[in-house]
Amino acid sequence: MTLRRGGQSVLCGVRLSVPLGRWLAVAGPNGAGKSTLLQCLAGLLLPHEGQTRVLGQPLAALTGPQRARRVAWLGQAEAVSGELTAWDVAMLGRLPHQGWLATPSAADREAAESALRDTGAWAWRGRPLGQLSGGERQRVLLARALATQAPVLLLDEPLANLDPPHQADWMALMRRHVAAGGAVISVLHELGMALQADDLLLMRAGGVFHCGPVQEDATRRALQAVFDDRIAIHPLPPAADGRPQWAAIAV
């Protein structure tokens, strides 16, 4: 996949395949092309060369609702009317499931409630988005993505404004999503969290610097290298489920 913006090449020859049942974290320095790649995968930007296929079908061949039922999107600094309540925003995630002018079904309401409960946003479902804090707002937007019940989640900096306990909750949600057969692709600057993903895609200067399982030493070495060895990775005690964990510290 190749994309030029403003006369510059911002993605060059990126090839990527993410199987269902895996969580891929995308990391790399500022300006590496991570958000651009995610927007191409979501169909929000059209690459000059290459295409995105979702569940075996070219994204471009799908209608808007078909696409939105397969791929849920959470972008950076999304513009959503501050007058909408948290409930309204979660229900936006159900639009791809509803017919033209149809009223929401019981299944739509259940999906929105479950998503708001999962992100800890149920308590303020009646409050307008404009009256929520940055982290509260982010949890509502995550609920909108989850309410779609799409198998593929594309999340650009989903942890922005989340406090550490809610970051841990987010991770548990992603684990649950992949354990249920979904796929997650998330751009993360929180490298400790990125190191808990299954796979890491490391980008630099619009290209793939490295892609591989977090468990492989080579991947963790590449993570240090993509940041010019200005981070160090240290092992941590295993997680409760036995999964190895690492911390990334700026040096």
Please give the structure tokens belonging to residue 90. Answer: 């979660």
By CB under 6 A, name the one of 32, 86, 142, 155 that touches ligand ATP. Answer: 32
Q: How far is the CB of 28 from ligand ATP (least distance, A)?
A: 6
**For ligand ATP, the closer CB: 36 or 138:** 36
- Is residue 10 near ligand ATP by the rule CB under 6 A? yes
Q: Which of 149, 147, 148, 146 is nearest to 158 (CA)?
A: 146
- Is residue 228 near ligand ATP by the rule CB under 6 A? no
- Is residue 150 near ligand ATP by the rule CB under 6 A? no
Please give the structure tokens belonging to residue 16. Answer: 């990527």
By CB under 6 A, name the one of 13, 19, 20, 31 that touches ligand ATP. Answer: 31
Instruction: State the binding string over 34-73 for ligand ATP (x if CB under 6 A, else -).
Output: xxx-------------------------------------
**For ligand ATP, the closer CB: 31 or 65:** 31
**For ligand ATP, the closer CB: 31 or 213:** 31
Q: Note the residues at the interface with ligand ATP (CB under 6 A).
A: 5-6, 10, 28, 30-36
